[in-house]
Homo-oligomer: A and B are copies of this chain.
Amino acid sequence: MTDWETEISDSGEDAVIRGTPLEEVMDMEFADSIWLLLSGEEPSEEESEMFNTILSSSVDHGLGNPSTVSARTVQSGGNDMNTSVAAGVLALGDKHGGAIEDCMKMLQNGRTAEQIVEEYLDEGKTISGIGHKVYSGEDPRAQKIFGKAEELGISGEAVDKMKEIQEVFVKEKVELVINVDGAIAAVMSDLGWDYRLGKGLFIIARTPGLVAHVREEMDEEDFRREDGEYTGE
């Protein structure tokens, strides 16, 4: 048997979250409790407002994406809420919901904007956080996040570096905007979050959306199918 120890929380009569009694946590906003739980400290008022914006920006995004399809499909197979939501969370792999963590990692790797762009171009990789299918001028959601970060005095090195990366990229390659993932990644970095929590924060933000979709699917009668075609001999 291994030893199980944690610095996060205790249960029962002594229930605490990072040293704060659970009864005090119950007086906090949900987003602030999450911040405390993950960082060990309560957020300032500005950090709290920024964090609420980031979480709210990702609560849901239509039903076409892999996590929603997976959650609803599993529910339709005759499963409970927890099983179906978990199937949605599983879909949040490297290619879906992974751009924020990827971009945070890039911003936290200690290299200059020039080095980063050069490396990505050399390896033929796309840079997470820039590029958008629709917006060619500006991504209004990215601008909103940057605007609020500026206003709240949160913008710092990571936001600067993200903008530099985009500028270098435009010079070297092609005109692309910073998208909402890039803006979130930069601001979360300036808020002090380790990139290894990037995906986790996205999962926290998106779980409500998965719950909503599974609940809606419960009212559907049939199970989800695809009209696949067999192309073997």
Contact = CB atoms under 8 A, between A and B. Distances in A.
A78 B63 contact: no
Which of A37, A66, A203 gathers most chain B CB within 10 Å?
Answer: A66
Interface in A120-179: 133-134, 140-141, 144-145
Give the interface size class of chain A.
Answer: 35 or more
A231 interface: yes
B65 A11 contact: yes
A214 interface: yes
Interface string A204-233: 110111011111101000111111111111
Interface in A66-109: 66-70, 73-74, 76-87, 89-98
A152 B233 CA distance: 31
A140 B55 CA distance: 30
Contacts of A45: none
Given A62-B228, A78-B95, A80-B83, 13 more contacts: A6-B62, A10-B232, A17-B59, A25-B57, A34-B208, A68-B228, A70-B74, A77-B91, A77-B92, A77-B96, A77-B97, A82-B203, A204-B208
